[in-house]
Every structure is written in C-alpha cells, then in structure tokens.
Amino acid sequence: MRARFLSFSPPAIFEEEIEAVADTLRSEWITTGPKVEEFERAFSAFVGARGGLALNSCTAGLHLALLTLGVGPGDEVITTPMTFCASVNVIEHVGARPVLVDVEPDTLNIDPSRVEKAITPRTKCLMPVHFSGQPCDMDPLLLLAGKHGLKVVEDAAHAVAASYRGRMVGTIGDLTAFSFYATKNLTTAEGGMLTGEPKLLEHARVLSLHGMSKDAWRRYGRGGSWFYEVIAPGFKYNMTDIQASIGLQQLRRLDGFQRRRREIAAAYSQEFSKHPYFQTPTERPDVVSSWHLYVLRLNRKTLRIGRDTFIEELAALNIGASVHFIPIHLHPYYRTKYAYGPDDFPVAFANYHRTISLPLHPKLTDSDVQDVIDAVLRVAGSNRA
C-alpha cells in the first residue's frame, strides 16, 4: 500500500506559472488587460476558433452563450442528465426550461437518436456536453439543429484539446464554453473561455463586464478614455491578467500534458480490460478524447460490493477517486420542479451507480499509475462475487 495519499486530481502547476504570476503582480496591471487579450488570441489559435472571450468560469461562458443566442423565458434547451449542475443551472437562469435526453451506453454522451423526439416548437437550443473529454457525436446533432432551426452551444468543460472527425472542439457549434478550473487539463485556478464567431462574442463581451462599452484597460491604459456607457444589464464575468498569465504558460505545455494523459489512460485500459470486473472507457475511432477523466465502470454482478464501498476501500489504500456525475434528475431542485423519477433516464441512472473516476493528471509518475492499478485490482479481487 502507498505510504502517502494520492489525490484524485491536483493542478499541474510548475515554476514557470508561479513566475508568470509574479511578473504580472510586479506589473502595472493585474485585472483584465493585455495578458487576457494575449491568452484569448493564443487559445483561439490553438483550437482554430475565429474568436475567444476569456471569462471567470465555464459557467459564465454557458450563461453568456444562451443570452447571446437569444434563449430566454418560454424556450427549451435540450441537454443531458449526465453533467455537472452548472450546465443546467444556466438554462434556469435565463428563464428557459432544460429538457433532458438520456445518454449513449458506451460514451455516456447525449444520445442523438433520442434528441429529435424531445424537440418541440419551443426548443431553441441544443447543449451537448462532452462527458469526460470524449466528444459527442456532433454531426447528427448539427443536422437536427439545421433541420429545426436550432442553435448549438457546446459544454466543453472537459474537452480542451479534444477533436471530432478532424474538427477541434471549439469550432463546431455556434458557441463553445471551456473550463479552466483547478482540476481541468489546462487551468487558470478558476476561469473559462467562450469561442465562436467574433460578432457573437462582441455581444457576449459587453455582457461579461456590467454591460459596459469599454473595459478598465481601455479606459485607464495609455490612449484610453474615461468615458463609457452601459448598453445592457451585464454581469461580472471577466478574467484577470493574473489568471491569464497562468493560462498562457499552461497552453504552452498542453500538448505534453495531453500526451501524458493518453499514456496513463492507455496503461489503465490495458490492465483493467483483462478483468471481468470492469468496463473501460470508450474512445471512438473518429474522435480524439481529451482524457479529462478516466471513468471506470464496475460490472456489479462480478462484485460483492457497490461503487461507494469500492471508493472507500480505495481510500483506505491511499488512492483518491471521485464520481462523475450525480445525474441532474436526481438532485432535489430538478427532481421536485420537473417531477423526475430515477428511471426517467435509465442509462444515466444505471451507469451513475457503477462509475468511478480514477486519478488522471500529468504529474502522475509511472509508480503512481501502478499504485492505482494495483489498488483497484486488489479491491476488486478481494470482493469478487
């Protein structure tokens, strides 16, 4: 057993990030300014998007995306139950109704074959969520969007550096929101990015900072003017230069991060696929997953214990793990408001009870990876049915 606890997903921060933050703190500008602008350009170029808007969270990006595309009271937005609550909360925030559609058994992404049945005259938008970094099957969703005149907002919180049939996530739907939270493949501690057409982002940019016609850098910087106007009732969603300085360093090492994630995922799958206790994650041949998460599924008939006890026994062996996600329809707010039953989305519900997210981050050593494998096999072997 390991002597020290292995955290599930600590941030991969190095001296270059620390020094970049220090340089920004020594400068004359620490809030939204030149580093944010540089980060927006660099990230947009990385994914091949025509524009980017740096924000304080992916949640902010999703909220602004819906508002920018005109989603509001009386509208419906189709999305998945297999996601973090933020994806659905923002639909509520704009006054629309979230319409949940069950997921595919292999990827746990929204099932395109079920989506058309959920479309009504009130449907305004599709919001696919790229679960664990495996891109959704976007072409059927785009066909449905074109057929019914719908907008597409991608929740790419897990999908930095993922691609679908040769297209980078961030260039496929109308607008795409990314997360740079502490556990993500690229982090700015907290933060996010919205990518899409520059004309759409212009409106989102105004809404992201109080609805003001100019941000502080353009008011207080050299050649700036103090004058501004509030042209919409906006929000406080801007990213700071401190965050962007971390992001710029992370972006430079992202290719290396991704190589290491793929190596770890391959090592896990090679070992776990040999045993009847597990179902390993799917990566379809026409996509490149970001491998944000390694979600192992237990074959419950082969084990005497359930998922929760399995995680407890891993923790006793000093291996951290988590669960992604508690399906939306099980949370009290949504369960009560929309009268959901557990079996309303049977694929999501059944898989929720058998998923375990294992440690997966670039700082894992080969020894760490082997410790995870050994612990998982030990727990399974000692609890086989």
232-258: per-residue pLDDT in tens? 999 999 999 999 999 999 999 999 999
196: β partners: 175
pLDDT in tens, 57-76: 999 999 999 999 999 999 99
Say if residues 363 and 12 touch (Cβ distance below 8 Å). yes
Q: What is the pLDDT of residue 227?
A: 83
Q: Which H or E element spans position 138?
A: helix 138-148
Indicate if the pLDDT at residue 214 is higher than 80: no
Rg (CA), the chain: 21
Q: What is the DSSP string of 175-209?
A: EEEEE--TTSSS--SS-EEEEE-HHHHHHHHHHHB
CB 245 within 8 A of CB 261: no
For 15-252, CATH number out of 1.10.1740.10, 3.40.50.2300, 3.40.640.10, 3.30.460.80 equals 3.40.640.10
Residue 225's pLDDT is what?
Answer: 75
Residue 17 makes CB contacts below 8 A (sequence gap 6+) with 245, 246, 249, 250
pTM of the full structure: 0.97
Interval 175-189: pLDDT, tens: 999 999 999 999 999
Q: What is the pLDDT of residues 73-101, one digit of tens each?
A: 999 999 999 999 999 999 999 999 999 99
Where are the chain's structural domains?
Answer: 15-252, 254-382
Phi, psi for residue 314 in degrees, rounded to 5: -65, -45
Q: What is the rounded end-to-end Cα distance, in angstroms, of the chain?
A: 23
Q: If you search the block for the tokens 């079920």, which residue do you land on?
A: 114
CA distance 315 to 235: 41
Q: Quick one: which of 85, 313, 54 has its CA closest to 205?
A: 54
Mean pLDDT, the chain, whole residue set = 96
Cα–Cα dist 287/61, whole Å: 24
**Residues 8, 361: Cα–Cα separation, whole Å:** 8
As a whole number, mean pLDDT of residues 166-181 equals 98
| Length, in residues, of the chain | 385
Residue 224 has pLDDT above 80, yes or no: no
Q: Under a CB-based contact definition with an 8 Å cutoff, are residues 377 and 314 in contact?
A: no
Whether domain 254-382 has CATH 2.40.430.10 = no
Q: Place 216 in a pLDDT band, splitting at 50, 70 and 90.
A: low
By annotation, the residues acting in catalysis are 184
Lowest mean pLDDT among 208-212, 216-220, 291-295: 216-220
Residue 222, pLDDT above cutoff 70: no
Cβ neighbors of 311 (< 8 A, separation 6 or more) are 321, 322, 323, 356
CB 56 within 8 A of CB 237: yes
Q: Which sign, positive or negative, has the C-alpha torsion 169, 244, 7, 258?
A: positive
Alpha-carbon distance of 299 to 314, in angstroms, equals 17
Determine what percent of the chain is predicted with pLDDT higher than 70.
Answer: 97
d(CA 159, CA 176): 10
